[in-house]
Amino acid sequence: MAPLTPRLVVPIDVKKQPWEQKIPLHNRWHPDIPPVADVTEGKLFRVEMVDWTGGRVRDDNSADDIKFMDLTITHYLSGPLRIVDTEGVPASPGDLLAVEICNLGPLPGDEWGYTAIFERENGGGFLTDHFPRARKAIWYFEGIYAYSPQIPGVRFPGLTHPGIIGTAPSVELLNIWNEREKRLAETSPETLKVCEVLHQRPLANLPTPENCLLGKIQKGTTEWHKMANEAARTIPGRENGGNCDIKNLSRGSKVYLPVFVEGANLSTGDMHFSQGDGEVSFCGAIEMSGFLELKCEIIRGGMKEYLIPVGPTPLHVNPIFEIGPVEPRFSEWLVFEGISVDESGKQHFLDASVAYKRAVLNAIEYLSRFGYSKEQVYLLLSCCPCEGRISGIVDSPNAVVTLAIPTAIFDQDIRPKHLRERPGPKLIRLPDLLSCSNDGHLPVTQDQSGRSVP
């Protein structure tokens, strides 16, 4: 008998706001957010998701939506889902939840996405000292491929994946998160910088009732107020999985998530059509609405057997995952190296973040010689299937990090001139990125399908 169509447990209407969806969404982690459905292990089911902003970024000719983005609102998640075995017994704390990604993609009829740079004064990013202004690139999908009118001459297959997938924390784990992040937030910002740059974002995003969405819990009730003041923001990845942005967690992959509450309460969201390692522009994947088709298996007692705590309690664990068999394959790469010496020439001690920043900046400088603006390359390196590696973390004082870029994604040969087999590259006139302006408009041309684009 042919397999049944996956059961749709969380439908999404992209024409409606996140809080108007038929099945309530949530944007916090808390053990008391009620599950929206039960799912039996071994059964194939489908979850649909809005993009991480809930539709606040538009397919238009302006980056004003990025410049003025309210970052107190992040990551609308679908779920939680209560996972039970074939006898109806829910997953229990201490179990492992094996979640297999059987299929995934953009929502039909909504086959587009975006990559963006946040304004320095509104979040910034990894290279905010070099790129302080908001920019946006729109991507359109042709099957497994993506192209952007704002970054022409580039086309690549996406390694589509959920940016967020995780289980609900227990009360004890939630308290651990809030206490350690509060201590960090109380640290003087001047003592903690990323690559010697003080970002505009807080060191940690603590619980706040502002723009808090708790699924079935009605806003304004006593229960909502209590939960909203302690529910964790979804911004970082944590012991439950969460916002890890692992690009290889794609079709055919399996992730082993620790179970902290009865039923596991699985949630997911933040779908990406493609992403480069590091997602360096902050809003750096090709963000989109999408769907996952999943199967779950409960491994009884699996946390103790398979996950090794790195911390003071058995709750200090991290998920593991298996890479699926489907991903883009490239035979030729151009690799840029970075060491832990910053732009001023200052030596840092085995600082892989500084080294990666140097590798990215080196790649941007090189590729900008082929007709691209540096902002275009920055966005491209955030979302194309490039690979970042820590090549050396032992030879003091320099960490060595590399960024490998597949050459086949370009329609011109980007290798050094004496290595080129094809005719030399022609500098091409490229449009500006979607940027903020008084009227929000840019000159209009047409893309490959004939639609109007800036």
Q: Which of 94, 40, 98, 80 is nearest to 260 (CA)?
A: 94
Question: How far is Cα 23 from Cα 205, in angstroms, rounded to an integer?
Answer: 27
Q: Which of 290, 291, 294, 223 is nearest to 264 (CA)?
A: 294
For residue 187, what pLDDT is reported? 81
Which of these ranges, 73-77, 123-127, 226-230, has the smallest mean pLDDT? Answer: 123-127
Q: Could you say which DSSP state residue 8 is in?
A: E
Query: Is residue 348 scored above 60 in pLDDT?
Result: yes
- pLDDT tens, residue by residue, 258-291: 999 999 999 999 999 999 999 999 899 999 999 9
pTM, entire model: 0.91
Which of these ranges, 134-143, 183-192, 342-351, has the smallest mean pLDDT? Answer: 183-192
The mean pLDDT value for 401-429 works out to 78
Query: Is residue 69 scored above 90 in pLDDT?
Result: yes
For residue 449, what pLDDT is reported? 40
User: Position of tokens 């994604």?
Assistant: 409
The mean pLDDT value for 381-406 works out to 96
Which of these ranges, 179-183, 198-202, 434-438, has the smallest mean pLDDT? Answer: 434-438
What's the mean per-residue pLDDT of the chain?
90
Question: How far is Cα 279 from Cα 364, in angstroms, rounded to an integer?
Answer: 15
For residue 92, what pLDDT is reported? 98
Query: Is residue 124 scored above 60 in pLDDT?
Result: yes
- How far are the Cα atoms of 126, 181, 340 from residue 18, in angstroms, in the given order? 29, 27, 42
Q: Could you say which DSSP state residue 194 is in?
A: B
Q: Which two tokens stand for residue 72?
A: 């107190």
Q: Could you say which DSSP state residue 182 is in?
A: H
For residue 232, what pLDDT is reported? 98
| 255, 264 contact by CB (below 8 A) | no
Cβ neighbours of 411 (radius 10 Å): 11
Question: How far is Cα 356 from Cα 195, in angstroms, rounded to an integer?
Answer: 10
Confidence class of residue 122 from pLDDT cuts 50, 70 and 90? confident
